[in-house]
Amino acid sequence: MRYGAQRASRAPSVTPAMTMVEKFRPILLRDVVGNEETISRLQVFAEQGNVPNLIIAGPPGTGKTTSILCLSRALLGASYKDAVLELNASNDRGIDVVRNKIKMFAQKKVSLPAGRHKVIILDEADSMTDGAQQALRRTMEIYSKTTRFALACNSSDKIIEPIQSRCAVLRYSKLSDAQLLERLQEVCMKESVSYTEDGMEAVIFTSQGDMRQALNNLQSTCQGFGHVNSENVFKVCDEPHPMLVKDMLQHCINSDIDAAYKIMSHLWSLGYAPQDIVGIIFRVAKTHDMPEFLKLEFIKEIGFTHMKIAEGVDSLLQMSGLLARLCHKTVSPGTSGSKN
Amino acid sequence: MATDQASSAKKGAYRSYLSREGPRALGSKEIPQGAENCLEGLTFVITGVLESMERSESQSLIERYGGKVTGSLSKRTSYVVVGRDAGESKMAKANQLGTKQLDEDGLLDLIRKLPGKTSKYEIEAAKQSQSKPSTAKFKSSPSLAKISQSKMSSAKPAAKKATDEGSSQSLMWVDKYKPQTLKQIIGQTGDKSNARKLMNWLQNWHRNISSGKKPAFNRFSDDGSGFKAALLSGPPGVGKTTTATLVCKEAGFSFVELNASDTRSKRKLKDEVSESLNNHTLVDFFGGQVTPSEGQRHCLVMDEVDGMAGNEDRGGVAELIQLIKNSKIPVICMCNDRNHQKIRSLANHCFDLRFQRPRVEQIKAAMMSVAFKEGLKISPPALQEVIVAANQDVRQIMHNLSMWTSTDRNLSYDQAKSDANKAKKDAHLGPFDVCRQVFAGGERMSVIDKTDLFFQDYSFGPLFVQENYPSCTPFAARGDMRMQMKLLSQAADSIAQGDLVDRQIRSTQNWGLLPTQAIFSTVLPGEAMKGSIGQMIQFPQWLGKNSTRNKNDRTLQELRTHMGLKNPADKHEINMDYLPLLRKALTQPLATRGAEGIGEIIQVMDEYSLTREDFDSLLEVATWPNSKNCMANVDSKVKAAFTRTYNKSVHLTPYATGSSVAKKKRGAGGGEELEEEEGGEVEEEEEEEEDITKDSMIKLKKKPAAKAAKATGKGKAGKSGSKGKLAKKK
């Protein structure tokens, strides 16, 4: 609970040298956002001790490292310094480090209360070589009386099977928009940042379920412009506004070429590169709500255009051609001519 | 005639099976909530298409309530669930056996009505841990266990358990419930089990070795006598290490264990391990129980031999083989994949014991008793899901159970299933599976899911799709040939477009186009041809063809350079215009006039500066598929005479021919030397490096002389490279 107090006192103080990501990194397990079920299980282990070896796998920015750190902090408290060995990809983790450093640490005697164990944290474990992972195998078992391992990785298929077999594998999924929103609002309040509703939405869209990205985008927007609205966010992140693109696609589905072209020329006049525009159309079309067969047809056309643009034919005419072809897909033969 | 008709009917049935539609009304019926385990003890066979659910769904529904689903009918089958287009043979058999038939609604009614019961596994587990806690895992034959335990129930083990409790609090489940005796290892209790074989081998080791028995090379009736080492191989989590340590313990051997966390280089092994192989333990001197004839009773356990990797362990495997050859004590090695390159040489010197994954039932019984002891409530079907998800890896099952039940001691079926799905070992989908999923993937795969399939392996996946799309029978065609052709052409179009994108990506390094390629080369063909795949997934032929093409291209290039002085054509022109004529000019005289034609041919070859090797490669390149081999009616004596004559005379070529000869020699010489030095397979890289230096040195020194003698020495050198090399050394 000491940590909680510390954090509460630290939060409002102005520490400009710190990124938001570090400043608002959760200290307690219950503060970790998302993946509630798994976190609650970890919480039980934090109270009872006797954690099994863990592999936490998931996309970036979902709180893998944070929850391992929180867990070991909760388990070990004051002796955190002595009883935790943290290695990430920036450390040398070749086979000899595993055989020397890790093994030595596993053999080290630290007096801990019953049910508590030393913890070896291997962050970004998917970047360890196969040889190093092999060398880890038996160490994990032999010293399991005193030492537990916690591995974090992006994809667990890079962890060799024998190691997976020795661990309980937990999977984190991307955070939902609501989860992101809640935390972002909290951060904005603590940092007294002014924001608008659509600004938050924009931050969430650009981050795609990645909390770290969201916080970074938020920070750069509010440091650059002082106010978080959707325009500023997309200026910082420099992406064509997906809402516009969405509208444009909807117009195409309704075969309303004029309205669609208006948006396209607006995007063009903002100075976005055609590559970026077509990229985001592709991305939006994949998730846009429309009949499956139409979606495939659309994506096909967008793909063709993307290729042509990549070949160097990246004029506004090309983009308009794309819109026309998309409209052509949905227009029924009978209504031809009425739009002109 | 009758049989003919029957077979054609069968064929028709099969065709309709291939083109039958998927379920028509998915999710239209409400799935009832039944009582726990209400279907336990019942066996089901599903045939035909159920309208409201997919096959996998109905299967999991039955399993959820404790029922069992099998593929074929037998006397023990309790119900046949019959859907649309049911299999004829199954129906006939069901009628014959008098099995009760249900339709879909009948099945749902059954679940609604039947009363729940307590699982036999739970009863079993409860009974067992009341009577004798320590035999937790000995349950491969439940009935037998019951008898033996009811006799043995006593207060003593219970008391022992109580004292254990305190210390085991901080152990992981895996350690807490680690087998203490051989009998407890799951799946290793039988007479023919690996554990038993290993035990026999170890106990008879000294007797067999001192009597000088040679290893018998018969895998089946083999007890391993004569081998100095044993190799246990199998997937992780099936109990290899446990078996080894327990066998040592029960056979009264002390052991030294080396695993992947120890450095095991050649030198280390030589210095440290070889010494310990001749050690006597203090027990030998002070224990006094061991009879001198038996010698020392300790052994070496080399765990994870496949973990001997990288620079640190260089030469480790070769040294290990040497150690085994000279060992005075038994050595037990363990690895996961016995077909691994490094292990294969070791495997020849070892008594081979392969571990299989235990059956689900075996694990289920053991896990039930663990669950009971931990006070967990978990239904057998839920446990089954957990076991299957972990791929029958006992260790992983224990870890997962302890994780998932940390908040709630009561693991329901749905909970277990969703957890198990998440925990499925992230096996990287192979290209074969990817391809199958692209075409036969379920109804609910979105565009994004299919794109993910492409990204499993974006250079290989499209090739598989391209190879296999014609063998698919699309549902959308509904047996209509015209429609099917249309779909085929759609798929082919989009594959071709995908290829265009691929070219764009690779030529301009524009990797941003990958998602576009995913759409064209995987998603669209998959969408068009969605249906059933009639045959095995084929490996893309393109790969083989492409490598042949590359090889031919290289040969042509070489021919062109050789012919360069006389002939300014590029390699395509040579291929199209010159080679057919040259081929005729080079073979016709031999075929018609035999040995007399040899001189003429050699003249032609000298004219175009072709060597003897060029002669062969020329014929190979110029032979098109389905054209006949023009050397076929040339007498082999004539061929030999041709080679002899060619080698006898000196041929002056306007180019240096040294490189290809040197290369050949190096290959042959290296292999020989290896055997001489190490007497067996050794890591090749090391040796080869040495060889290269040796070889290049020879070449440097002898260059002037070699060049002159080249033309004569070539044929010989090509055939018996090592001999030629030895000659040169002198």
* Complex-level ipTM: 0.71
| Average confidence (pLDDT) over A87-110 | 84
Question: Which chain B residues are Cβ-neighbours of A296 within 8 angstroms?
Answer: 447, 519, 523-524, 527
CATH code: domain of residue A41 = 3.40.50.300
Residue A3 within a domain: no
Residue A104 within a domain: yes
Per-residue pLDDT at B186: 83
One-letter amino acid of B108: L
Per-residue pLDDT at A17: 67
* HSE-up of residue B314 (Cα within 13 Å, Cβ side): 6
Residue B70, SS3 per DSSP: strand
> Top-level CATH class of B431-539?
mainly alpha
Residue A7 within a domain: no
Nearest by CB to A286, from B428, B447, B510: name it: B447
Asked if B309's CB is within 8 angstroms of A131's CB, the reply is yes
| Average confidence (pLDDT) over A71-83 | 87
Residue A61 within a domain: yes
Question: Which chain B residues are Cβ-neighbours of A111 within 8 angstroms?
Answer: none
Residue A333 within a domain: yes
Domain boundary among A237, A262, A281: A237
Domain ranges across chain B: 20-113, 188-282+295-354, 360-426, 431-539, 548-648
| Average confidence (pLDDT) over A170-185 | 87
Closest C-alpha among B107, B103, B41, B104 to residue B68? B41
Q: Is the pLDDT of residue A220 over 60?
A: yes
N-to-C CA span, chain A: 70
Asked if A145's CB is within 8 angstroms of B261's CB, the reply is no
| Helical ranges in B509-594 per DSSP H | 514-518, 524-528, 541-563, 571-573, 579-593
CA distance B251 to chain A (A): 22
Between residues A99 and B133, the one the model is more confident about: A99
Nearest by CB to A164, from B241, B425, B497: name it: B425
Kindly state whether B476 is in contact with chain A, defined as any CB-CB distance less than 8 angstroms.
no
Kindly state whether A290 is in contact with chain B, defined as any CB-CB distance less than 8 angstroms.
no
Same domain, A188 and A77: no
Which are the contacts of A229, defined by CB distance < 8 A and separation ≥ 6? A195, A196, A198, A199, A202
Tokens read off for B384: 């089954």
Q: How far is CA B306 from CA A130, A157, B133, B383, B680, in A?
A: 11, 19, 36, 32, 18
Instruction: Report the C-alpha gap between A334 and A336 in whole angstroms.
Output: 6
Residue with tokens 């055989």: A99
Same domain, A223 and A326: no
Nearest by CB to A138, from B259, B448, B504: name it: B259
Domain boundary among A191, A207, A237: A237
The total of other beta-carbon atoms located within 10 Å of residue B511's CB is: 11
Same domain, A76 and A142: yes
Same domain, A182 and A300: no
Residue with tokens 């992983």: B396
Look up the CATH architecture of domain B188-282+295-354.
3-Layer(aba) Sandwich (3.40)
Q: Are strands B350-354 and B229-233 parallel, antiparallel or unpaired?
A: parallel
| Residues of chain B numbered 499-518 and touching chain A (CB < 8 Å) | 500-501, 504, 508, 510, 512-513, 515-516
Per-residue pLDDT at B646: 87
Asked if B304's CB is within 8 angstroms of A137's CB, the reply is yes
Between residues A233 and B129, the one the model is more confident about: A233
Closest C-alpha among B208, B305, B306, B195 to residue B251? B195
- Domain B20-113 matches domain B431-539 at the CATH topology level: no
Residue A256 within a domain: yes
Question: Which chain A residues are Cβ-neighbours of B404 within 8 angstroms?
Answer: 41
| Average confidence (pLDDT) over A34-48 | 85
Whole-model pTM?
A: 0.62
Domain boundary among A143, A171, A199: A171
For the domain covering B360-426, report its CATH number.
1.10.8
Same domain, A152 and A230: no
Asked if B303's CB is within 8 angstroms of A45's CB, the reply is no
Residue of B nearest to A112 (CA): B170
Cβ pair B245, B188 in contact under 8 A: no
Question: Which chain B residues are Cβ-neighbours of A299 within 8 angstroms?
Answer: 447, 519, 523
Closest C-alpha among B391, B395, B179 to residue A166? B395
Residue A14 within a domain: no
| Residues of chain B numbered 431-450 and touching chain A (CB < 8 Å) | 447-448
Per-residue pLDDT at B625: 78
Tell me the residue range of the domain where A195 lies. 177-237
Kindly state whether A156 is in contact with chain B, defined as any CB-CB distance less than 8 angstroms.
yes
The total of other beta-carbon atoms located within 10 Å of residue B206's CB is: 17
Which are the contacts of B604, defined by CB distance < 8 A and separation ≥ 6? B582, B585, B586
Same domain, A42 and A153: yes
Nearest by CB to B304, from A138, A145, A292: name it: A138
Question: Each residue of A21-47: b (16+ CB within 10 Å) or e?
Answer: bebbbbbebebbbbbeebbebbbebbe
The dihedral region occupied by B292, where left means phi > 0, alpha psi between -120 and 50, and beta the remainder, is alpha
Same domain, A292 and A315: yes
Question: Helix, strand, coil proportions of chain A in percent (round to 5)?
Answer: 60, 10, 30
Same domain, A109 and A165: yes
| Residues of chain B numbered 293-352 and touching chain A (CB < 8 Å) | 303-304, 306-307, 309-310, 312, 336
For the domain covering B20-113, report its CATH number.
3.40.50.10190
Nearest by CB to B524, from A142, A164, A300: name it: A300
Between residues B685 and A127, the one the model is more confident about: A127
Asked if B336's CB is within 8 angstroms of A295's CB, the reply is no
Asked if A155's CB is within 8 angstroms of B171's CB, the reply is no
Residue B595, SS3 per DSSP: helix
Strand-by-strand arrangement of the A84-87 sheet:
A84-87, A118-122, A147-153, A54-57, A168-171
Query: pLDDT tens-digit profile of B195-242?
Result: 888 888 888 888 887 777 666 555 545 666 778 888 888 888 888 888
Give the total number of structural domains in chain A. Answer: 3
Asked if A287's CB is within 8 angstroms of B448's CB, the reply is yes
Residue of A nearest to B166 (CA): A114
Query: pLDDT tens-digit profile of A303-336?
Result: 999 989 988 888 899 999 999 999 988 877 655 4
Instruction: Report the C-alpha gap between B523 and B406 in whole angstroms.
Output: 41
Per-block mean pLDDT, blocks of 10 residues, chain B (730 long): 54 58 62 71 78 74 77 78 76 80 79 70 63 42 39 39 48 82 80 82 81 61 74 86 87 81 74 68 54 60 76 75 82 83 81 85 86 82 82 84 78 76 62 82 72 83 89 81 90 92 88 88 87 82 91 91 84 87 86 84 87 86 79 82 86 68 41 41 44 46 44 42 41
Instruction: Report the C-alpha gap between B495 and B462 in whole angstroms.
Output: 8
Per-residue pLDDT at A260: 92
Residue with tokens 């954090």: A7
Residue of A nearest to B258 (CA): A138
Residue A13 within a domain: no
Same domain, A49 and A159: yes
